[in-house]
Amino acid sequence: MRPYRLVPIACCLGLLLTLAPLRASAADLIIFAAASLKEGLDDANAAYMRQNSDNVKISYAASSALAKQIESGAPANIFISADLDWMDYLEKRNIIRPGSRRNLLGNQLVIAAPADADIKLDIGPGFALADALKGGHLAMADPDSVPAGKYGKAALQKLGVWKTVESAVVRTENVRIALLLVSRHEAPLGIVYATDAAADPGVKIDGIFPTETHPPIVYPIALIAENQDPAAKRLLDFLTSATAKPIFEKHGFSTGVE
């Protein structure tokens, strides 16, 4: 299916504004970050700005879209991807600063349902996901390019159920739009990160995918080579510091990722 675009514009305005590209002044530090990081990174950034005079702005979207924007010359200082692949993509093109790359956070992959839904899934080989959809859609970030969707497809393939639900998948531009479809009852189930589900009271977690069913969920962070502002290194050091760890952990992310 093509990426899902039928969500009413008025209902999504807040999300679209949040994820829209930023216009920044020369004095701003710019982070391009995976959409799933929003609550945790917003809090960490607020803590950083309380301690420093730097003005930091964050652009949230799918890691794939952000990496392509950076490759095209978008003015980012720091990139945080939701998988290793898109950071590798930039590193192979010499776009990230050598020696600056670090693994920042980890996450879990879950199936989310509307908070008032009477569904409980036991995730395992051959589980009855197609039956649970009851003819509805399975909301996922695009499994061809967006990390959450790639993890989700890998897990469903490992469990032997991808072919049973592939035709029902609604491919969204990022994981937060998949979450929104579930929260608004436009899809009975969605595959998102545990931190996404925790951030939206309109959904509940109906099952957690075993870690062995998909590649490890790792969020790498790195400086962009072209932008040499020394303050960017200070910001990166803060986000990877012991001070920032409990902020991210409060939102459900794991730290100390190898």
pLDDT for 27 equals: 65
The pLDDT of residue 131 is above 70? yes
In the predicted model, what is the mean pLDDT of residues 214-223? 98
Q: What percent of the chain has pLDDT over 70?
A: 90
State the pTM of this model. Answer: 0.89
CATH code: domain 109-213 is 3.40.190.10
β partners of residue 204: 113
Q: How confident is the model at residue 15 (pLDDT cuts 50, 70, 90)?
A: very low
What are 99's two structure tokens?
């020696």
Q: What percent of the chain has pLDDT over 90?
A: 86
The pLDDT of residue 19 is above 80? no
What kind of architecture, by CATH, is found in domain 9-106+219-250? 3-Layer(aba) Sandwich (3.40)
Q: How long a stretch of residues is the chain?
A: 258
The pLDDT of residue 2 is above 90? no
| Predicted confidence (pLDDT) per residue in 33-60, tens digit | 999 999 999 999 999 999 999 999 999 9
The ranges assigned to domains in the chain are 9-106+219-250, 109-213
β partners of residue 28: 55
User: Taking all residues of the chain, what is their mean pLDDT, rounded to a whole number?
Assistant: 91
Nearest to 86 by CA among 204, 232, 255, 222: 222
- Please provide residue 117's backbone torsions phi and psi, each rounded to the nearest 5 degrees: -80, 145
